[in-house]
Amino acid sequence: MNRHRRALLAAAAICACGGPASAQDAAQDKKLDLGTIVVSANRTPTDAAKVGSAVTVIDRATLERARETYVKDYLDRVPGLNFAQIGGPGGLTSVMMRGANAAYIMVRIDGIEVSDPTKTQTAAALEHMLVGDVERIEILCGSQSALYGGTAVAGVIDITTRRADGPGVSHRAAVEVGSFGTVSGRYGLSAATDSSEVNISIERAKTDGISSADSRAGNREKDGYDNTTFSANAATRLNEAFRVFGALRYSRHDSAFDDFVWGVGPTDEVKGTPRNRTIGEDAGIRVGADLDLMDGRWKNTLAIQHYDTQSTTWGGYPGHYDGDRTKLEYLGSFRLNDMLAFSFGADYARETARSSEGLSGTIDNAGAFAQASLEPIAGLTLTGALRNDHHSTFGDHPTARATAAYRLFEGTKVRASWGTGFRPPSAYELFAPIYGNRSLKPEESRSLDAGIDQSFWDGRLTLSATVFKLDTRDLIQFAYDTGVGAYRYLQVPGLSQRRGIELAGKVQALDWLALDGSYTFTQAEQADGSPLLRVPRHKATVGATVTAIERTTVSVRGTWVDDMRDTDYSVILPDFSSPVRKLPAYFLLDATVTYRLTDTFDLTLRGRNLLDQRYQTVWGYGTPGASVYAGLSARF
């Protein structure tokens, strides 16, 4: 048994994801700003006001104001996004995007796909992503398989690491200490000329943690976490038409976790037995070149990337896991005239997954896509895309996407997007001993969303509303197979449905007071009408940022979550299943105070879960109580 089986037994079908073209803080200001350029929506730089997909842009200033340590803790503020985590920092985590779990979301860092091929369902380990080196995050919702391939059924999270502000050399550093024996620190260097730049970052976060198994059940043993992450990127322009670039990333993480006993649930390890512990290493590299032809009308990018992930688990669940992915990709765009432009590309990827328990699988996939973007009249932008993927096991799978954005008048945009997608089974779902099932077929899906973004009062007030749906046919689930008398992955016939509404708003009420809020309603059901697990039906946030005192910024945020369900594994029913129960609703209150000591130094005090709410996002697993952290940051 291993971290994967533990996830299975704990029903770690953990979920998440994101909202409409809006987010908290400064990110929401980017929605209708004609100066905002997004790349993920069409795989080529596009004015945000011309994007028909639901996309959120989170910039560096917004991230710095939040002062979080982990990427997931900021993403959890975005309307529509939701996280479920087993225990505290370092615990197995998944993001839900409109009710779809992490297996349906592509996550990229500097263009490197960072999903783990050895997981039960191929997905990114967001619990190990630190925020210190992040420059920008784009969150693209809705089916994007026509542009990115099969893993982008629910959307894409595209992360860019730090970039230089301009020619010269700059440094940045920060240190923080706080509750649960937490210490973190980071250092970054950026050096640039008019034609070249290099950026380097190293960060470490360490905590004694909390008991992964909920302490209210008598569990007292702390499960610590230690993460060291290094990242670098560089680029140089050899002439006006040719540029070469590269990025690399390395992370080492060490996490402790508790036992899991079927019929009992999560529990501390038995005294005298070895501690459960996983040490993992992730490394990724991507290098490539850009070539602009025909006075920049025809742009070309050729790149190759490699991602490798390894982990070893000790204690009651010993095992070793090794996965890697190599991908060659070409991306092009051509602007015919002011009305019509095209983007196109092709890629080939091979990923492998191996484990000491006997997992051994290789998956090859080759894909090609083309998209047309048309502006037939002033203010209207239409796109249409087609893609075909050839999977080494399942053959050809075509997908499509269409979007529309119409700027009715200044400050008003209506938008809509439609797309089809498919998710092929992971290597684990296909080839794992005992649990694998080689008769599985790819899931197929359709998504649709429509919304409006509106600004008033010279942009000081912005409002956004989106309705969405995602239908998935023949869902793959871990369930009891009566034919073989054991749990394994099965195809569930029928249509699983996720639909809902997202509302968001932000107002600069006074020169020194900004308010924002959001609400997301999600109805997520399996084919038989039962709820999909760990998807809250209701989630709302409200926040305020106050700058009334010179050099001081105070931010307060509340988050309310209700009507989320999970499996209670402390009970075993006669058919060997366990009942599904509703998790208690909860409200979290967070606050951050930043004081600018000088032009170089900032002092930060932040409190999380200040009301000391006892809540769960995964049944039986604890979450951190009230905590306080103090930090000092510098730029020079």
CATH number of residue 485's parent domain: 2.40.170.20
Cα→Cα distances 450→16, 26, 29, 46, Å:
20, 23, 20, 19
Tokens of 365: 């996939």
| pLDDT exceeds cutoff 60 at 605 | yes
User: What is the rounded average pLDDT for all residues in the chain?
Assistant: 92
Q: Does residue 251 belong to any structural domain of this protein? A: yes
Cα(357)–Cα(360) distance, integer angstroms = 9
The residue among 451, 466, 420, 498 whose CA lies nearest residue 148 is 420
Beta bridge partners of 463: 454, 505
Tokens of 22: 């809006």
Cα(422)–Cα(459) distance, integer angstroms = 39
Cα→Cα distances 86→89, 255, 264, 467, Å:
9, 12, 16, 30
| pLDDT exceeds cutoff 50 at 622 | yes
Q: Does residue 521 belong to any structural domain of this protein? A: no
Cα(452)–Cα(614) distance, integer angstroms = 37
Cα(117)–Cα(308) distance, integer angstroms = 9
Rounded to two decimals, the pTM is: 0.93
The residue among 352, 378, 380, 377 whose CA lies nearest residue 364 is 352
Per residue in 8-38, pLDDT tens?
333 333 333 333 333 334 333 343 343 488 9
Tokens of 282: 């992730």
Q: Does residue 539 belong to any structural domain of this protein? A: no
Q: Does residue 567 belong to any structural domain of this protein? A: no
Q: How confident is the model at residue 6 (pLDDT cuts 50, 70, 90)?
A: very low
Cα(1)–Cα(531) distance, integer angstroms = 28
Burial label for 468, CB within 10 Å (0-12, 13-18, 19+), is buried
Give, as one character, the DSSP assignment of residue 214.
Answer: -
Per residue in 417-444, pLDDT tens?
999 999 999 999 999 998 999 999 999 9
Q: How confident is the model at residue 392 (pLDDT cuts 50, 70, 90)?
A: very high
Give the residue carrying structure tokens 């000329």.
193
Q: Does residue 591 belong to any structural domain of this protein? A: no
Phi and psi torsions of 241, nearest 5°:
-105, -15
Q: Does residue 541 belong to any structural domain of this protein? A: no
Q: Does residue 25 belong to any structural domain of this protein? A: yes
Beta bridge partners of 368: 346, 388
Angle 473-479-485 from CA coordinates, rounded to 5°: 130
Do β-strands 105-109 and 155-161 pair in parallel, antiparallel, or remain unpaired?
Answer: parallel
Q: Beta strands of 356-485 (E only): which ranges?
A: 360-374, 380-391, 395-409, 412-423, 443-456, 461-481
| pLDDT exceeds cutoff 90 at 248 | yes
pLDDT for the residue 299: 98
pLDDT for the residue 65: 84
Burial label for 213, CB within 10 Å (0-12, 13-18, 19+), is buried
Q: Beta strands of 4-154 (E only): which ranges?
A: 16-17, 37-38, 46-47, 54-58, 81-85, 93-97, 105-109, 112-113, 115-116, 123-124, 134-141
Give the residue carrying structure tokens 């990709």.
329
Residue 395 belongs to domain spanning: 3-506
Tokens of 231: 């990242």
| pLDDT exceeds cutoff 80 at 70 | yes
Q: Does residue 571 belong to any structural domain of this protein? A: no
Q: How many domains does the chain fold into?
A: 1
